[in-house]
Amino acid sequence: MQNDMVMGIMSNVSYEKQRLDYVDIAKFMGISLVIFGHMKMPDYVLQWIYAFHMPLFFVLSGYTYRVQKLNKEFFVKKIKTIYVPFLLFALIFCQGEMSNWAYIVYGSRNTLSMAGTYTVLWFLPCFFAAVIIFSFLMSACNKSKLKVWLIMAGVVLLLVGAVVCDYWRGTQPMLTKYGYPLNVDVALVGAVFMVVGYYSRQMIDWFNTQKQWLPWLPIVMVVASFVVTGFTAYMNLPESLNPVCAHVEMSVGAYGDWGLFFVNALLMSAALIGLSVLTDKWLKNKKLPLFIGQNSLTILCIHGTILLAVSKVLPKIGLTGVDDMSLIIQGIVSYVIVIVASIPVIIAIKRYVPNLVGK
């Protein structure tokens, strides 16, 4: 049995083109955390969310990755489905000046801020770069008999590259000001999470064939991960863009302690995937979370505008408190409004301007 498991994890598996409901549910949970992370929330809530919410999306991308040829069709598809939506949304929200366009094409979080557009869009060019890096790594390793060793060496090189980029960013004035194009420094770390996600998928597939493990394995994994990160997430609080609330912020490479960062990110990603598996099995009506999860890219791009409008509405209905409980109540109300308002926008985009989201 152990040999079968090892072979299942290490073998090159090609997956059919089909959506996995629990993956879409995990994306729903992830984008929900993104929305809450961009609200005024108690510090301890933001510190916990930022410890893992963006790595989760890289893990899920690697989780559903299928090995494919790096030909013209591959690159055109990635440009169409990731980079073009980024450009379009960034241009829509920017101030329209020609210099801003150059900042947007550069694609770093810093230059998006300079362009006056939503900095939350940093994820898309970073994700684009991470997918390309990860795909090159997988393509090179799958052609070799030393695949496992090459993957391990590749992960080490990615981490070394990320550390070197972090050092250069602090010593080179131009990099300090503009950041790296396409957030490639963060993309190196994202590619590592994709590698973990890819092999996690093969491990979970093996466990799914062992009926005696379920449903207890996901339950134990979820509970244990929540308990552990309930402590470790608050042990890693680096200074970030937010001077009021120090927390991990992947978008600017503020990882704090790198070891704790990876532990927290991977444990909670595993917990949310496990929770998604359980939700998929136990929830009867999954239409809303599946819809939101399948359209998480669109919500990523539009939720900032909706939150801005909501922030002007809340005081008019008496939601103005600044204590922790008031902020949590305001956050829940804002979240519901964002989800409800996003649905007609998503439907309209898919029907009239599908190119806006790479369709």
pLDDT band, residue 2 (cuts 50/70/90): very low
- Which residue is it, tokens 């770069």? 129
Cα separation, 87 vs 101, in Å, equals 9
Q: Would 345 be classed as within a structural domain?
A: yes
Phi, psi at 41, each rounded to 5°: -130, 160
Q: Would 5 be classed as within a structural domain?
A: no
Average pLDDT, the chain: 86
Q: Would 59 be classed as within a structural domain?
A: yes
Q: Would 312 be classed as within a structural domain?
A: yes
pLDDT at 212: 59
pLDDT at 13: 36
Say whether pTM exceeds 0.95. no
Cα separation, 163 vs 79, in Å, equals 27
Q: What is the DSSP string of 104-124?
A: HHH--HHHHHHTTS-GGGGHH
Number of compact structural domains in the chain: 1
pLDDT in tens, 190-218: 999 999 999 887 777 666 665 555 557 66
Q: What is the DSSP string of 184-224?
A: HHHHHHHHHHHHHHHHHHHHHHHHHT-GGGTTHHHHHHHHH
The residue range of the domain holding 138 is 20-357
Cα separation, 233 vs 263, in Å, equals 9
Q: Would 114 be classed as within a structural domain?
A: yes
- What letter represents residue 82's amino acid? I
When pLDDT is averaged across residues 135-163 and rounded to a whole number, the result is 88
Q: Would 351 be classed as within a structural domain?
A: yes
Q: Would 12 be classed as within a structural domain?
A: no
pLDDT at 336: 95
Least confident range from 71-80, 190-199, 211-220, 334-343: namely: 211-220
pLDDT in tens, 13-45: 333 446 789 999 999 999 999 999 999 898 889
Cα separation, 310 vs 31, in Å, equals 18
